Amino acid sequence: MPTPLHTPRVNNNDDTVRLVKLLVKPGDEVRVGQLVAEVETDKANFTVESDRDGYVLAVEKALNDTIDVGSVLLWLGASTDEIVPAGAVSAIATASNASATPTLKAAQLLAKHGLSASDVPAIGERLTIADVEAFLAARTPNPSNLSIASGIVQPLTPEERGMLRTVSWHHDHAVPGYVELRYEADRWERAAAEYQKRERLLLGPLLALMAHRLARLAAADPKLNSTIVGDNRHVYSAVNLGFTVQSDSTLYLTVVQNAAVLGCREFVDRLGQLQRGALAHTLRSPDLTGATIAFSSMARWNVSRHVPVLPPYTSLIVAHAEVRGGAGTLGATYDHRVLTGYDALAVLRELTTPEELA
């Protein structure tokens, strides 16, 4: 099955990178760990490695493109005969075609505004900063033409741009639905307390155990761990569990890679490391990319209900809320292109009870 290789995050402050070197082409055989591309930001260069053995089926980006972190860089397959799902280019990644190569300053301005070189028409052979500025001037609405009160225009921070992209994907691509159910929380709380005592843990493991259960449910039912590409379902080969962590004013979606194959204690420890990294703002690219399903809790703030936004290219995010009077609420936002409300509800029913904790 074709498998996407996603664009990595180079640092926490840049949601886009520039593709400066492609080391493979369609048809090439690659090995796990082999360098396939080089990307850069204003501050750093970063090599991209293949995460598996296989053959390059398609390269989704063009050299010098400014590309979104987390978007598909290229597709790999077990043989060269495999076909990249139709529509993959437009559905998952913002593809580039024969766009003019940007100058360095133009590339920096493109990155600043989250644009790709292919978004902006060039007057000459190279895409210049003047081209980008003209494009931005034409795109930016003149407040005097809008029926809104006067004010100032402020650029978004990288975190705000990331949020904009997430909610835009949710709005423009997914067809979100939401279900929730009430459950008796005492079984989970007892199980978590016993596990904490047995493992001599400092931190209450309730949310980590629930998230691990979700990852295992997704492994058992691959439909939960998939997205839509063109007219096809793209089933991910691994369950990468996204888990939201609020750190100061930044909301991170930390990612436990290959979560379903981890043992319970391994998962609890790995998630703990990610939470610490988020709180210290020291997370790196693999810690934040490639979520295929997600879990979010706002119980900490005594929130009784929240309807989370789907992270891009996921079909399910579970929402955990406060427990009051022994009863809790579990909700789920799901992509109705992939799952039905019944599917999502079935997951929540399973999640209301802990499995035997190994």
Nearest distance from residue 259's CB to other proteins, in Å? 16
In single-letter form, the type of residue at position 78 comes to A
**DSSP H or E stretch at residue 131:** helix 129-139
Which residues ranging from 295 to 334 are in contact with other proteins (CB under 8 A)?
Answer: 300
**Closest CB to other proteins among 258 and 273?**
273
Site size for other proteins, by CB under 8 A? 17
Residues 203-242, one symbol each (x = binds other proteins by CB under 8 A, - = not), give xxxxx-----------------------------------
| 337 counts as binding other proteins under rule CB under 8 A | no
| 26 counts as binding other proteins under rule CB under 8 A | no
| Distance (Å, whole) CA 39 – CA 62 | 12
| 244 counts as binding other proteins under rule CB under 8 A | no
**Closest CB to other proteins among 158 and 272?**
272
Which residues ranging from 250 to 269 are in contact with other proteins (CB under 8 A)?
Answer: 269
| 38 counts as binding other proteins under rule CB under 8 A | no
List strand residue ranges (DSSP E) for the chain, in order: 3-6, 16-22, 29-30, 35-40, 45-49, 54-59, 66-68, 72-77, 176-184, 226-229, 232-235, 241-247, 250-256, 293-297, 316-324, 327-335
| Distance (Å, whole) CA 164 – CA 178 | 21
Nearest distance from residue 272's CB to other proteins, in Å? 6
Eight-class DSSP state of 271: H
| Distance (Å, whole) CA 61 – CA 22 | 9
Considering only 2, 177, 230, 272, the residue that binds other proteins (CB under 8 A) is 272
Place of tokens 């996603």: 6
| 349 counts as binding other proteins under rule CB under 8 A | no
Q: Judged by CB under 8 A, which stretch of 31-39, 47-55, 107-115, 201-209 contacts other proteins?
A: 201-209
Tokens of 305: 């209900």
Cβ atoms of 35 and 11 within 8 Å: the answer is no
Nearest distance from residue 319's CB to other proteins, in Å? 16
**Closest CB to other proteins among 103 and 273?**
273
Place of tokens 């664009």: 7
Q: Name the residues that contact other proteins, by CB under 8 A.
A: 200-207, 245, 269, 272-273, 275-276, 279-280, 300
